[in-house]
């Protein structure tokens, strides 16, 4: 019963182009969404988040879009850089809790 789904296990993008990572969720009680980035042999690190009252949040090269009616969010990275190569996890938090439910991750590879 995967409440947060990342259906693309991997994505390959050329340097300078846009990377789009997708995430779908099933629980309408989620009210906060986050993206984490993970390099090999390291723990995940926080990247960007969005509250359910917003539909877009931007931080430099990273933008997260939320479509509540479709229960879908996406992470856009523009322009993509080789250092962005990592596994990206989508996570969601149920209303009034501090617990995070993680997706299965998408491995992004940015090639020159």
Partner 1 sequence: NAGVTQTPKFRILKIGQSMTLQCAQDMNHNYMYWYRQDPGMGLKLIYYSVGAGITDKGEVPNGYNVSRSTTEDFPLRLELAAPSQTSVYFCASSYSGENYGYTFGSGTRLTVV
In the complex, the residues that contact partner 1 under the rule CB under 8 A are: 2, 4, 6, 9, 32, 34, 36, 41-46, 49, 89, 93, 98-105
Closest distance to partner 1 from the beta carbon of 110 (Å): 21
Q: Which is nearer to partner 1, 53 or 112 (CB)?
A: 53
The sheet that has 19-25: what strands, in order across it?
Answer: 4-5, 19-25, 72-77, 62-67, 56-59
Do 36 and 89 touch, CB atoms closer than 8 A? yes
Closest distance to partner 1 from the beta carbon of 99 (Å): 6
Q: Which is nearer to partner 1, 15 or 31 (CB)?
A: 31
Q: How big is the chain, counted in residues?
A: 112
Q: Which is nearer to partner 1, 79 or 101 (CB)?
A: 101
Q: Which two tokens stand for residue 27?
A: 């629980």
Q: Which is nearer to partner 1, 20 or 101 (CB)?
A: 101
Closest distance to partner 1 from the beta carbon of 86 (Å): 14
Do 87 and 21 touch, CB atoms closer than 8 A? no
Does residue 73 sit in helix, strand or coil? strand
């Amino acid at each position: 019963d995967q409440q947060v789904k990342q259906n693309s296990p991997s994505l390959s993008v050329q340097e300078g182009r846009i990377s789009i990572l997708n995430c779908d969720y099933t629980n309408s009680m989620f009210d906060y969404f986050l993206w984490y980035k993970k390099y090999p042999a390291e723990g995940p690190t926080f990247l960007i988040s969005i509250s359910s009252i917003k539909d877009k949040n931007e931080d430099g090269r990273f933008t997260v879009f939320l479509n509540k009616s479709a229960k879908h969010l996406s992470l856009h990275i523009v322009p993509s850089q080789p250092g962005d190569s990592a596994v990206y996890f989508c996570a969601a938090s149920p209303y009034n809790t501090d617990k995070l439910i993680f997706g299965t991750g998408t491995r992004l590879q940015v090639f020159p």
